[in-house]
Chain A
Amino acid sequence: MTTRKTARHKGSLSIVFALFCILGLALLPQRASAQMLRLVYNNDNLGELSPCG
């Protein structure tokens, strides 16, 4: 009887532990995997609106 109770208790603990692990992983900040990004940049347009020489 005691052995069965202990086994049941251990089983419940395992489920709780597994749920805790899943929750913990879900709450971890997401690590960005390899990410492609395109940066289109310029500087010093110096007030130019139109094409210049």
Chain B
Amino acid sequence: MSKLGGLSKKAALFNTLSSTSDTPALLLDAGNQLFKQPALPTAPAEAGAARVRARGIVLANQTMGLQFAAIGTHDLAAGPNFLKEIAGNGFTWLSLNLSNRYNDGLLFPGYILRQAGQLTVAVLALTNHDSATPADGSSYHIRPWREVLPAALAQLRQRAHLIILLSNYPLGENREIARTFPQIGLIFQSGHAMGNLPPIAVGNTLISQTETRGRYMGLLEIDWQGRGSWRQPGKSALSAYDRAGSSFRQRFIPLSATMENDPAIDALVRQTEKQAQALTR
């Protein structure tokens, strides 16, 4: 089987998509970006190499235009302080429920607002509280989504046209979130390998995710007409009444070996690998 993925191909694809159309493009990462497992390897050299790769991944993604990402449980392998260390320079980690254990204060911003053409887009992120139990003595905990979403969505009611949730919860929980909060237009999920999941409509919300390990990118093109049900042109015969509402087209793009590489990101990846391998020799 030929190899797929790679950050330099992801960068080249995003450059192409951004430069070949006037339609605004937003790059999203739904979480579990940095580490293979929710804990670091026990061997110190391996743990050091994983940290070096994580820094390189954030730098590469930031360079290609990723401005924020959700914190998945795997991203916490080296602890929240490590995430703070490697953020900055226009890159923000998001989690609406990763909180200080003692006063419930958020460790990171819970959401971010972005202007895309005339649309104000709010992007929120949730870390799965069920799949991560912080070690005894750690200074943080992860609150259930039911405790944090209502207040955040109330704050955003008058501030955003479109609300996007990056969720580290499994599909069943995301369906429940969509049913409970129909004002969320889109959910992109992480953490529960199911292969590429084309958009599923749950009430007013579309839920989607890609295959793991960066082998595919999802491209969702939407024509936003405000909150309401979604339709996918060409999928079914629609009455004039049904044609109201927002519409979408979606596809998964394999990052195949024949795709071009972004030279700057390619150089950064090679340098990072060299540094990581030097630690484990």
> A22 contacts which chain B residues (CB < 8 A)?
none
> Can you show 8 pairs from A to B with CB atoms below 8 A apart?
A37-B116, A38-B25, A41-B188, A41-B220, A43-B31, A44-B209, A48-B214, A49-B6
A49 — which chain B residues lie within 8 A by C-beta? 6-7, 53, 56-57, 60, 269, 272-273
Chain A interface residues (CB < 8 Å from chain B): 29-53
Interface residue count for B (Cβ, 8 Å)?
Answer: 73
Q: How many inter-chain residue pairs (CB < 8 Å) link A and B?
A: 174
A31 to B28, CA, bound (A): 25
**Residue B67 CB within 8 A of the other chain:** no
Binding site for A on B (CB under 8 A): 1, 3-7, 9-10, 13-14, 17, 21, 23-36, 50, 53-54, 56-57, 60, 72, 74, 116-121, 158, 161-162, 164, 186, 188-191, 193, 208-210, 212-226, 255, 257, 269, 272-273
Residue of A nearest to B221 (CB): A38
> Knowing that A39-B164, A49-B7 are A-B contacts, what are 12 other residue pairs whose CB atoms are under 8 Å apart, sorted by A's residue number?
A35-B119, A37-B116, A38-B222, A40-B27, A40-B28, A44-B32, A45-B29, A47-B36, A50-B5, A52-B3, A52-B4, A52-B215
Task: Check if B218 sits within 8 Å of A37, measured CB to CB.
Answer: no
Which of A30, A38, A47 is the one whose CB lies under 8 Å from B57?
A: A47
The smallest C-beta distance from A7 to any residue of chain B, in angstroms, reads 43
**Do residues A34 and B225 form an inter-chain contact, with CB atoms below 8 A?**
yes
Per the bound structure, the CA–CA distance linking A43 and B9 in Å amounts to 15
Which residues of A have CB within 8 Å of B13? 40
